[in-house]
């Protein structure tokens, strides 16, 4: 069934007199095992949508459900609990803490996970970073950093994996490796949602929705 659903999401930003309607009635659903790509030009609402789906931001209107639980319009502590147990997030800004090595970064994401959870070294093996657990984020090259971010996003064995430009500035080989891992995750039963400009990423998705001015095009 549906693991991730969003119904009629509205999000307004106010800055003084200025008001931006970032989302104007976006609905979507992602089933277990399915990969959905979200495309759209800069400013169309992709990042805002992702933040609302992750419970990092609250929409003014509409509702988000994750694995049958309502995520939106709840206290931050509830959203944080659901996020920690159910959701893996790969943001463009990176999801690694700079002063912790990879093993510690993965352990941190473990804390609220349901058991059994993959060990840090198993996760690092999965993303092709065998034996790099003691490395600091700054010691990694771009492609390695992206893979380490994915290891952290997968550390809680998430039902829902949300990724913003997961293959952003990677070379072709690393991009293929990341796409393979995302697809594998969906095959293992997760709902995967990818915000992207990449035709390669769109190609591996089961479905695509396009955003324009905060609306999804039919
Ligand atoms: P992208 O197309 O990759 O989402 P953007 O440049 O649109 O990149 O946005 C980058 C970040 O800046 C986002 O996190 C977004 O929330 C924030 N942002 C975008 N527009 C504004 C704005 N007008 N005021 C404040 N923050 C903004
Ligand atoms: P995208 O990710 O597709 O580039 P965003 O979700 O970042 O789109 O932005 C959607 C709209 O909301 C844009 O018009 C952007 O300028 C505006 N926006 C995004 N974040 C903020 C913010 N924090 N404050 C004010 N406006 C914002």
pLDDT at residue number 116: 66
* Residue whose CA is at the smallest distance from ligand 1 atom 17: 47
Collapse the DSSP code of 25 into the 3-class scheme (helix H, G, I; strand E, B; otherwise coil) and give the result: strand
Ligand 1 atom, smallest distance to 93 CA: 14
ipTM over 0.90: no
pLDDT at residue number 113: 62
Give pLDDT tens digits for 107-143. 888 766 666 678 899 999 999 899 999 999 999 988 8
* Residue whose CA is at the smallest distance from ligand 2 atom 24: 13
109 and 157 in contact (C-beta within 8 Å)? no
Q: Is 11 in the pocket of ligand 1 (CB under 6 A)?
A: no
Binned average pLDDT, 10 residues per bin, the chain of 218 residues: 94 91 97 96 95 95 97 95 92 86 89 72 92 95 88 92 86 84 90 91 93 92
pLDDT at residue number 112: 62
Element (H, E) at 74: none
Ligand 2 mean position to 21 CA, how many Å? 9
155 and 89 in contact (C-beta within 8 Å)? no
pLDDT at residue number 94: 77
Q: Where are the beta strands (DSSP E) in the chain?
A: 2-15, 18-31, 35-39, 61-66, 69-70, 87-90, 160-164, 191-195, 207-212, 215-216
pTM of the predicted protein model: 0.86
Residue 51: how many CA atoms within 13 Å on its side-chain side? 15
């Amino acid at each position: 069934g549906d693991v991730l659903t969003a119904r009629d999401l509205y999000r307004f930003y106010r800055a003084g007199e200025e008001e931006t309607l970032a989302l104007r009635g976006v609905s979507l659903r992602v089933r277990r095992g399915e990969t959905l790509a979200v495309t759209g030009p800069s400013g169309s609402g992709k990042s805002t949508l992702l933040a609302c789906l992750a419970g990092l931001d609250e929409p003014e209107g509409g509702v988000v459900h994750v694995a049958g639980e309502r995520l939106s319009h709840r206290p931050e502590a509830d959203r944080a609990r659901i996020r920690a147990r159910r959701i893996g997030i790969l943001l463009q800004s990176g999801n690694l803490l700079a002063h912790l090595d990879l093993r510690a970064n993965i352990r941190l994401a473990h804390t609220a996970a349901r058991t059994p959870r993959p060990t840090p070294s198993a996760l690092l093996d999965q993303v092709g970073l065998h034996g790099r657990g003691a490395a600091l984020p700054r010691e990694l090259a771009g492609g390695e950093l992206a893979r380490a971010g994915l290891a952290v996003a997968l550390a809680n064995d998430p039902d829902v994996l949300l990724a913003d430009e997961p293959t952003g500035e990677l070379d072709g080989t690393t991009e293929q490796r990341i796409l393979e891992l995302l697809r594998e995750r969906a095959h293992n039963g997760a709902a995967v949602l990818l915000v992207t400009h990449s035709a390669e990423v769109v190609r591996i998705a089961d479905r695509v929705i396009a955003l324009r001015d905060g609306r999804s095009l039919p």
